[in-house]
Amino acid sequence: MRHNPRNRPTLNRYTSLPVLLDILTRKEIMLLNPASWEDINDSFYIEQYRIKKNLKAVLALCFTTRAETFHHWKIFSGGSSGVCIRFYRTTFLQCVRDVQGTHSKSVKYRLVKELKENPPPLEDWPFLKRKPFRDEGEFRIIYENSETCEETKAIPFDVNCIHWISLSPWLPRSIMETVKKVIKAIDGCEKVPVNRSTLIENLGWRSAIENTPACS
């Protein structure tokens, strides 16, 4: 039985529809090289961590622990092909721990001044980010390899780790049902809840105004 995420914390991964279909078909999610990240400060810290620890590879995968926001959709999976996979945190992290070389924790947000006055330990470097990014509420999985230079690392998972899948709020309603059918046709995904985000088009929000008498 799938429970309310308020009672079971989730890790939310924003991505694109093609990537989602690949994840569900393979029953794997990929950790990637942070070198391609838009936040150069972020990837720099992870690369310095790799060098200091004399590792061949450090790969990463990022989630948010926060409820959906306009920022999350617009920045991490903008456009009609965006999706959000909401994983049950505890059960998903059990799958992560089965992959040797992985470790994970919440990102810490710091000011430059704080780092200079109190330098962080090496083990914290992959989990540091500048304070202006704190609204992301990021949780990060790191994979390390001291022997082989890898560009990707797969984490197998059980589909029951997924609480639900949100489709982009910009996805046209005319094709929403088709997309849902494609997702549910994937082996093992028949019972995974799939819904279009109501972030920018919420009937409950609108009816609250429509049914309220105007104050004079």
Report the C-alpha gap between 142 and 130 in whole angstroms. Answer: 18
pLDDT at residue number 68: 86
The answer to whether 86 touches 12, Cβ cutoff 8 Å, is yes
Of 87-91, 134-138, 197-201, which one has max mean pLDDT? Answer: 87-91
pLDDT at residue number 203: 67
Task: Compare 210 and 17 and report the one with higher pLDDT.
Answer: 17
Is residue 5 pLDDT above 90, yes or no?
no
Interval 37-44 mean pLDDT = 90
Give the type of residue at 40: I
CA-CA-CA-CA torsion sign (85, 5, 38, 60) = negative
The answer to whether 171 touches 8, Cβ cutoff 8 Å, is no
pLDDT at residue number 168: 94
- The per-residue pLDDT for range 43-86, each reduced to its tens digit, is 999 999 999 999 999 999 999 999 888 888 888 887 899 999 99
pLDDT at residue number 76: 84
Contacts (Cβ under 8 Å, ≥6 apart) of 137:
64, 65, 66, 106
Strands 138-145 vs 152-156: parallel, antiparallel or unpaired: unpaired
pLDDT at residue number 19: 96
Stated length of the chain: 216
The answer to whether 155 touches 87, Cβ cutoff 8 Å, is no
Read off the pLDDT band of 163 (50, 70, 90). very high
Is residue 216 pLDDT above 80, yes or no?
no
Is residue 142 pLDDT above 50, yes or no?
yes
Report the C-alpha gap between 185 and 169 in whole angstroms. Answer: 22
Report the C-alpha gap between 80 and 175 in whole angstroms. Answer: 10
Q: Is the pTM of this model over 0.85?
A: yes
The answer to whether 37 touches 133, Cβ cutoff 8 Å, is no
State residue 110 phi and psi, 5-degree precision: -135, 155
Going by the DSSP 8-state scheme, the letter that residue 147 receives in this structure is S
